[in-house]
A and B are shown apart, each in its own frame.
Chain A
């Protein structure tokens, strides 16, 4: 059973950089069948996709955050990471890492099938 676990500071000061890591267990992050994503959810609000990374290091970001986001992967540790720079209070949210399955049995199928429990990051001085 694949499991994802977010880790990182729960409090970040305004203008600083938010850094989170997602550790994948029960499966290899190097599998070519998946992308690895970050998604966030402000308290009481909906979900916002931040970006995704492939095992090769290829990335795609949400244009609304692209200038501030970097997602990277460390296959040796089976982890991928998120950095969000110049944070403000608007970046306060629960941050989830999730697996995006590309398909199976020869068919394409893009969906988020496994999620971490989420980690609350508060931006405050």
Chain B
């Protein structure tokens, strides 16, 4: 299985300041079709996960542009340019390049 490792596991951030979450995979996430199926999910307290970013850097419909994704191969990053109160929650990276699909352990974003 591809292991997805996120850092940090907890990120206290001041409102209005940027935040960054790293995700590293144990194998390359480049699919045989040339695409990289790395997504980012946000899970607010008591809610199901919500798709933010797909294929490394594509924002899903309705996602604010303060969220951005980057990376390649085995190293990926989610950035929030200016954290807002509604961004509190747990963020997961996930890969759909190889079976079984796997998730990172989650990064808890909280406000200082």
Q: Which residues of A contact B (CB under 8 A)?
A: 37, 46-49, 60-64, 96, 100, 107-113, 115-118
B100 touches A63 (CB 8 A): yes
Chain B interfacial residues counted at CB < 8 A: 27
Q: Chain B residues with Cβ under 8 A from A61's Cβ?
A: 100
Query: What is the CA–CA distance of A100 and B55 in the complex, to the nearest angstrom?
Result: 13
B100 engages A112 (CB within 8 Å): no
Contact A116 B48, beta carbon cutoff 8 Å: yes
Given that A109-B55, A115-B48 are contacting pairs, would A49 and B103 also be in contact in the complex, using a CB cutoff of 8 Å?
Answer: yes
From the candidates A48, A60, A115, A117, name the one contacting B103 in the complex (CB within 8 A): A48
B90 to A, closest residue via Cβ: A46
**Structural contact, B35 and A47, CB atoms closer than 8 A:** no
Q: Which residues of chain A are within 8 angstroms of B96 by Cβ–Cβ distance?
A: 100, 110-112
Contact A46 B92 (CB under 8 A): yes
Tell me the chain B residues, 39-93 only, with Cβ under 8 Å from chain A: 39, 41, 48-51, 54-55, 58, 60, 92
Nearest-neighbour CB distance to chain A for B62, whole angstroms, equals: 11
- Provide the bound-state CA to CA distance between A89 and B104, in Å: 23
Residue from A37, A47, A60, A62 having most chain B Cβ neighbours under 10 A: A47
Q: How far is the CA of A107 from the CA of B36 in the complex (A)?
A: 12
Chain B residues whose C-beta falls within 8 Å of the C-beta of A96 in the assembled complex: 48-49
A3 to B48, CA, bound (A): 12
Cβ–Cβ < 8 Å partners of B92 in chain A: 46-47
Q: Is the CB of B35 within 8 A of A108?
A: yes
A-B residue pairs in contact (CB < 8 Å), sample of 6? A37-B101, A46-B105, A48-B103, A61-B100, A109-B55, A111-B39
Chain A residue at minimal CB-CB distance from B38: A111
The docked-state distance in angstroms from the alpha carbon of A112 to that of B92 is 12
Nearest A residue to B48, CB-CB = A115
Residue of A nearest to B39 (CB): A111
User: Which residues in B have their C-beta under 8 angstroms from that of A117?
Assistant: 48
Bound CA span A116–B33, Å: 29
Q: Are B100 and A49 in contact (CB under 8 A)?
A: yes
Of residues 1 through 52 on chain B, the ones whose CB sits less than 8 Å from some CB of chain A are: 1, 31, 33, 35, 37, 39, 41, 48-51
